[in-house]
Amino acid sequence: MHLAGPPHLVLLPLYLQLYDETVPELLPRQERFLARVASLMRSQGLSVTLLPICRTRPQVGAAVASAEEQRADGIVAIHLAYSPSLEAAGPLSATSLPLLLLDTTPAESFGPAATMDDVLENHGVHGVQDLASVLLRQGREYSVIAGAIGDPRLAGAFSNWARAARARAVARTMVVARVGAPFPGMGDFDVSDDWLCRVIGPRVAPLEVAHIAEVARGVTAADLAAEREADRAAFDCGACPDDCWERSNRLGLALRQALAEAGAGAFSMNFAAFERAVGASTVPFLEASKAMARGLGYAGEGDVLTASLVAALNSCYAPTTFTEMFCPDWSGGRIFMSHMGECNPALAKRRPRLVEKQYAFGPVDNPAVLIFPLRPGPAGLVNLAPRSGEQAALISIEVTVEDMEPAPGLLEIPHFWIAPPRGEVAGFLERYSEAGGTHHLALTPGLSAADLRPLAKLMGWEFVLLE
């Protein structure tokens, strides 16, 4: 299942029943504050369901059950006043939904001019502390974001957490297809399907190249004509011979259909699995690029681990591409990034060119690939690395995509250059491999490397920020 739409959160307000009897005039004021919080959440592009204000454990239990029925991506608990922890801790510990304790108040300042009414309106902080302490003792994972309601930092932190909650939901419900067997001997991303499901979340669906080839035989002339028109609208296709274009789209449309039938939100394919003997006329690199532009995850060589990461970033953060660090430019302070024929055209600086790639890595005809410079600027370079046992590490690096044209001698492979932190190639490569990063990565332009910390926390992964 590939979830669509913005992150969906439920806002759980907690309150003290005693105040209904002793200060009934307080609740309307706190309801107005609650509306401000919901508005702030929605201003970040989130889908928000406001749950009833809860005072007692049964009320919290019913609210949590409602959140689960809605398949919310996460619960945001907010204290409108002090609320005893044991009214909420049990139901919140019993649910597997991610939990955020939002620690904010109506007033942005609280000084000597404060009145008792101000105290009543702004004292929820110790309710947060009570609940957090009990949740931690019970072994319940949670996150806390604190700050003034008007602080831009609060909105940014909240948005990051919401995206992480959605990415977790995507991973937990996703099918990732593997086309062909993993490339022999590549051990860094070599994890079992069971491990991937337990530690990361996705379920692996094997796809045989022979099945894709069979589907390709059913692709019609009308299907090909429609795809050709879509290509002309998106790409400069003048340099690609018709026969190369057609076979790439025929197999690509078949792959697209097979992925849809499998319900896959991500896939990885081993180029070596494509050969004429099983009915494949080429390698569908073009479709891999188009799939990433549609929001799917992708990685090469049967790497379902990195494909899952690309899917989470691509669907929940910003357009993302699969890539590899190929060659260091020691003197230039940059690294050449590439792969055989796949790159997300949503990252293109200008209209991509469709070209025929001279292919010598298997018994198939030449494929079509897209060539383009990437939009320059800051980006997050991200890796998901297996650790021993049931552990994984999310490695995140702030890099800069260089403003460079495709190299004249490399016009048949997608490629670009990045500058690592401080332009220090040697030190960066040392730190990356000391952190155990694999050779398959995701690149997300505009993503701050530190913004992925909430995702690592929600997934139970180690977070490594390389600077």
Predicted pLDDT of residue 438: 98
DSSP 8-state code for residue 35: H
pLDDT at 340: 92
Report if residue 80 sits inside a domain. yes
**Domain annotation covers residue 440:** yes
**Contact yes or no for 298/324 (Cβ under 8 A):** no
Q: HSE of 234 in the Cβ direction (CA atoms, 13 Å)?
A: 20
Q: Is the residue at 2 inside a domain?
A: no
pLDDT number for residue 100: 98
Residue 144, phi then psi, degrees to nearest 5: -130, 130
How would you write the pLDDT of the chain (467 residues) with one tens digit per residue?
456 789 999 999 999 999 999 999 999 999 999 999 999 999 999 999 999 999 999 999 999 999 999 999 999 999 999 999 999 999 999 999 999 999 999 999 999 999 999 999 999 999 999 999 999 999 999 999 999 998 999 999 999 999 999 999 999 999 999 999 999 999 999 999 999 999 999 999 999 999 999 999 999 999 999 999 999 999 999 999 999 999 999 999 999 999 999 999 999 999 999 999 999 999 999 999 999 999 999 999 999 999 999 999 999 999 999 999 999 999 999 999 999 999 999 999 999 999 999 999 999 999 999 999 999 999 999 999 999 999 999 999 999 999 999 999 999 999 999 999 999 999 999 999 999 999 999 999 999 999 999 999 999 999 999 99
Per-residue CA distances from 91 to 69, 99, 197, 338, 437 (Å): 14, 11, 26, 48, 38
Residue 400 CA to residue 380 CA, distance in Å, equals 8
pTM of the model: 0.94
Q: Please indicate, yes or no, whether residues 139 and 234 belong to a single structural domain of this protein.
A: no
* pLDDT given at position 414: 96
Are both 110 and 188 inside the same structural domain? Answer: no
Report pLDDT for 2.
54
Per DSSP, helices labelled H in 72-192 are 89-94, 116-121, 125-137, 152-173
Residues 103 and 240 in one domain: no
Claim to verify: residue 140 and residue 230 sit in the same structural domain: no
Domain ranges, residue 274: 174-466
The torsion angles phi and psi of 177, rounded to 5 degrees, stand at -90, 140
Model pLDDT, residue 163:
96
Residue 110 lies in a domain: yes
Of the candidates 385, 382, 375, 384, the one whose C-alpha atom is nearest the C-alpha of residue 399 is: 382
Pairing of strands 8-14, 74-79: parallel
Q: Which two tokens stand for residue 104?
A: 């904010």
Identify whether residues 101 and 246 lie together within a single domain: no
Co-location of 201 and 329 in the same domain: yes
The CATH number of residue 380's host domain is 3.20.14
Nearest to 33, CA basis, from 15, 17, 59:
15
pLDDT tens-place string over residues 189-220: 999 999 999 999 999 999 999 999 999 999 99
> What does the pLDDT look like over 122-175, one tens digit per residue?
999 999 999 999 999 999 999 999 999 989 999 999 999 999 999 999 999 999
Residue of 306, 312, 297 whose CA lies nearest to 438: 306
In a domain, 422, yes or no: yes
pLDDT at 42: 94
Instruction: Show which of 149, 172, 195 is a domain's final residue.
Output: 172
CA distance 157 to 159: 5
Burial 155-165, CB ≥16 within 10 A → b, else e: bebbbbbbbbb
- Is 453 domain-assigned? yes
SS3 391: coil
234 and 110 share a domain? no
Same domain, 196 and 58: no
CA distance 110 to 287: 58
Last residue of one domain, picked from the residues 172, 188, 205: 172
**Among the listed residues 126, 74, 89, the one whose alpha carbon sits nearest the alpha carbon of residue 105:** 126
Which of the listed residues 129, 144, 172 is the one where a domain comes to its end?
A: 172
Same domain, 283 and 416: yes
Q: Could you tell me if residue 12 is inside a domain?
A: yes
- Domain count within the chain: 2
Same domain, 252 and 333: yes
Considering the domain boundaries, does residue 309 fall inside one? yes
In this structure, the answer to whether residues 40 and 137 fall within a common structural domain is yes
- In SS3 terms, 354-383 reads as EEECCCCCCCCCCCEEEECCECCEEEEEEE
Which CATH number fits the domain that encloses residue 66?
Answer: 3.40.50.10940
60 and 203 in a single domain? The answer is: no
In this structure, what are the phi and psi dihedrals at residue 358, rounded to the nearest 5 degrees?
-70, 120
